[in-house]
Amino acid sequence: MLGPIFNREVLIIPRSQRFFLTRAGYGAILLVLIWTGWQIMIGWRTVYEVGILARFEQILFRALVLTQLLMMLFFAPIAAATSVAHEKDRRTFILMLMTDMADWEIILGKLGSSLLLITVLLAAGLPVLAISLLLGGISPSQLLQIELVTLATGIVGGSVGLIVANWRDRTFQSLALTVLAVVLGLAAIEVVGLIVPFQINNQPVSAFLDPFRVTSMIMESTSSALLLPVTISFIIFALALALILNVSSIFMLRRWNPGRNEPREQREAPKAEELIEVDETVMDAAEYNSRLSDKLAEGFATSTQADDSTGLAVPRRTHRRVTGSQREYRHAWNNPILWREFATRAYGNKPLMIKAAYLVAVAMFASYIFTGVNAQGDAWRVTRAMVPLGILSLLLINAQGVTSLTSERDIGALDLLLVTELTPKQFIYGKLYGVLYNTKEMILAPIILTWIMVAIGRIGSESAVFVTLDYLLFVHFAAMLGIHAAVTYTNSRTAVANSLGTMFFLMIGILFCAYLIILSNREFGRQLLSFLIFLGAGSVALFGSLGSRNPSRALAIVSILTPFWTFYCIISLINGDAAAAFIVSIGIYGFALLAMLVPAVSDFDIALGRTSAIQG
């Protein structure tokens, strides 16, 4: 239906064991969350009132649906961008353009294949969410509309990731710009709601374009209609936007991509026809090329004016011989990897575009904090802005970390580095601090914004110190997690998925646990068992991501303890004990950082497969 690319993915994906484990695990997580919510709100007592069941279902259903929508909005663009960026890094995308496939088959095939697994997960969660119909409070039409809105959001997100990956050449550029495009797109919808003066049904225009607002309006509706006007308007808007993005990708596919991955010297080399197109009535082509080569070797500048001796026009291109005394060579540091990351444009000039887009996002978050009717009196306003900004920064740092290694592996440069005299410490530390240097804007912006709020009295200085030190630790953890995933998984798409997926679930899992804890009114006894099951499942999933390929006792300890101690940190923060949360987080995530860093610098050869390849 969508071409050979999509057909191949349909045949290949169901053959892997990961496909079945992911689908079953997603449904199991939803069931555990439902049980956890039941223990929080009701506990072990018998319920005879129908209204309590309906109220429970409305609260928990809202949390599950919004979490699922957030997952779709994050993973759909990342999956689409990674599918194209991976092909470009391996130099197979240009081979795809040389086949007889039409442009629409390439674009729609990549879009469909990248959304295939995510759509299967969405369908797998539908029977679990359908349990809500038995408890009351949710109608079948609401469930159907929410699923349609989530699917339409995924199609738009995948289209955004696809057009960005077609436009850019590097994996980090594709991933970073995709994440920033999603964030800035949601912010642009809110700006449209402020600019457009008129309202629809006492709601601003942005309420009909924002998927989160649309979902909330569907759940709050009491209408029995199969499709609400807000649902129809959002689906039409989403599909129209996806159509525009995909048509643009199809139209610009061969204008953006041919030759963009070639080295600069190869792109600027003179064409062969410029040397052989001569008038054979004047002299033989071989003689002309011989004379022209002699002139170029002597360092003469050629021009488009006619040559006096031959009467032939030669290309307008200047060739000069540069002697060794005229060229200034740069001297590398003792750590050449660190020198390359710091002193050269290892990632080109295009990362400046990523940093500019990030600073725009920072300006939007800052304007939300310092403006508004209740900007000074709203105690949660700072938290609602700083937490998403911190998560965005950590995701970008993690993306830079994982792609700094996967890109070199895909182009074959990593194999060359392995046969040099570089030590594991030089390579790992060079990559780690190179990642931190190249993402310094993502590191400094939240810290500067935090201390600005200290200066104006919005945050206490003690809390700011704790936040700054914790954030710097999380920055190192995010960068090292990306490098660890790139070292562990030889497939770039798998490495990116595990790295960003681990960061995403750590952050979203923390927020979801905080929501459930606040909802429980600090009564933890009756839901302790369900929390233990939920955190235990998180520990198993964390170990599968961190230590399944290269297991170690340190990584096993990290996987087991990190979810439980993170849970303790959340409880400490809710109880106002910031010092205890700070000390525990420093110990746990500091140990997790060392558990990934020490094997990388000591067992570097084994981790990258050089020793195992020799041994067969």
Concatenated DSSP letters of 99-163: SS--HHHHHHHHHHHHHHHHHHHHHHHHHHHTTHHHHSS--HHHHHHHHHHHHHHHHHHHHHHHH
CA 377 to chain centre: 34
Among 210-219, 234-243, 387-396, 535-544, the least confident range = 535-544
Interval 132-149: pLDDT, tens: 777 776 788 888 899 999
Over residues 69-97, mean pLDDT: 87
Q: Answer yes or no: is pLDDT of 530 > 80.
A: no
Among 71-85, 166-180, 251-265, 562-576, the least confident range = 251-265
The ranges assigned to domains in the chain are 4-264, 283-318, 336-615
Give the pLDDT score at 93: 86
Whole-number Å distance between alpha carbons of 405 and 600? 13
Whole-number Å distance between alpha carbons of 35 and 128? 12
Confidence bin at 325 (pLDDT 50/70/90): very low
Whole-number Å distance between alpha carbons of 5 and 109? 5
Whole-number Å distance between alpha carbons of 581 and 575? 10
Average pLDDT, the chain: 77
Question: Which residues have C-beta within 8 Å of that of residue 411, sequence separation ≥ 6?
Answer: 89, 90, 91
Q: What is the percentage of the chain residues whose pLDDT exceeds 70?
A: 74
What angle in degrees, to the nearest 10, is found between the helix axes of 381-410 and 50-89?
Answer: 30
Give the pLDDT score at 454: 87
Q: Answer yes or no: is pLDDT of 262 > 50.
A: no
Whole-number Å distance between alpha carbons of 570 and 582? 11
- Most trustworthy range by pLDDT among 22-26, 161-165, 188-192, 538-542: 161-165
Whole-number Å distance between alpha carbons of 546 and 534? 18
Give the pLDDT score at 317: 44
